[in-house]
Amino acid sequence: MKAQLLADYILLNYNPMSHLKLQKLLFYCEAYHLAYFNSSLIDEEFEAWVHGPVCREVFDIYKSKAVLYKDLVFEGDKGDVLKQIDALGLSSDQVDLLNDVLNTLNSWSAFELESATHREYPWIQARAGVPAGDKCANKISKETMRDFYKSELVS
């Protein structure tokens, strides 16, 4: 699935939210999908930016529509998004996981989500050697995400 389709799904069901929060919800959806199903939910990768994981492709779409902390709202065609999601053929377990992650983490603020990612190994590992506050476009390994969040599920 393209990350933009997942972003549309999130905004459709949980808007409004800041771009920062959207990026973190995308990250956690991918992370827990990797942990549970041992496969990616989205095609794109995340980069270890100063404010946490960012999917550059989604960032580029919304960068002209909102600043980091201003709310985004869903502006697309609801029926089209739902049709595209349905066409992916996700299992009921995959849809349940996605909704569980979003229902749980949507109550967190963007800052709580950012802080959480900053304490977790995938982001820390990707930024290794990069001074705090410096720009960084290092990729966050999907294998590292899978292994870390799978271990979190067990503990």
pLDDT, averaged across the chain: 95
Q: How do the domains of the chain map onto residue ranges? A: 3-154
Q: Is 56 helix (H, G, I), strand (E, B) or coil?
A: helix
Per-residue pLDDT band at 7 (split at 50, 70, 90): very high
What pLDDT, on the 0 to 100 scale, is given for residue 63?
A: 83
- pLDDT tens column, 133-153: 999 999 999 999 999 999 998
Q: What is the pLDDT of residues 57-107, one digit of tens each?
A: 999 998 876 555 678 989 889 999 999 999 999 999 999 999 999 999 999
Is the Cβ–Cβ distance between 140 and 26 less than 8 Å?
Answer: no
What is the chain's length? 155
The phi, psi pair for 142, rounded to 5°, reads -65, -30
The confidence score (pLDDT) of residue 120 equals: 98
Return d(Cα 122, Cα 124) in angstroms, integer.
6
The confidence score (pLDDT) of residue 69 equals 61
CA dihedral 130, 133, 137, 138 (to 10 degrees): 30
Would you call 130 exposed, middle or buried from its count of C-beta atoms within 10 A (0-12, 13-18, 19+)?
middle
Strand partners for 49: 52
Tell me the mean pLDDT in the region 18-44.
97
- For residue 61, the one-letter residue type is I
- In degrees rounded to 5, what are phi and psi of residue 70? -85, 145
- Mean pLDDT, residues 39-56 taken together: 98
